[in-house]
Amino acid sequence: MAAIDILVTGGTFEKEYDERRGRLFFRRTHVGEMLALGRCRLRARVRRLMMIDSLDMTPGDRRRILGACRRGARRIVVTHGTDTMVLTARVLGRAKLGKTIVLTGAMVPYKFGSSDGLFNLGAALAFAQTLPAGVYVAMNGRCFPYDAVRKDRARGVFVQA
């Protein structure tokens, strides 16, 4: 089994822009490309669970993420949309899986070039390797326990709750 599982769920992290229709959409995960670009040397297994906006995520989708975490490695990174990342983190945290699970995402799509996604993925992988068992949200170089974080929508950052 891989040292770290990376579970892909979609979110801004994975979106691309359709110039003809003027909309964001999902095509395929960018995580493999991001790992290569970052010259990642970890043993990691990337698993695409879904490609949806987190605002469209249902309780069933969250159960699917929880199930994948139950079956996954001892250390897991979940890429997730930022709008409901804290909600999913709470579902995972309350399950008390005894694993290190780090949720991360991006405020700007990776394909835009000015995205925070590459940095956030690297930081999440580092946090997943070093933190004790628990569920965390890692964004923009900071990491918070699942039950002590909130998204400050006005500033576009995650802060301690």
Give the active site residues: 12
Bridge partners, residue 52, by sequence: 10
Confirm if 141 and 123 have CB atoms less than 8 A apart: yes
Confirm if 158 and 71 have CB atoms less than 8 A apart: no
CA 70 to chain centre: 16
Helix (H, G, I), strand (E, B) or coil at 41: coil
Two tokens, residue 27: 């095509």
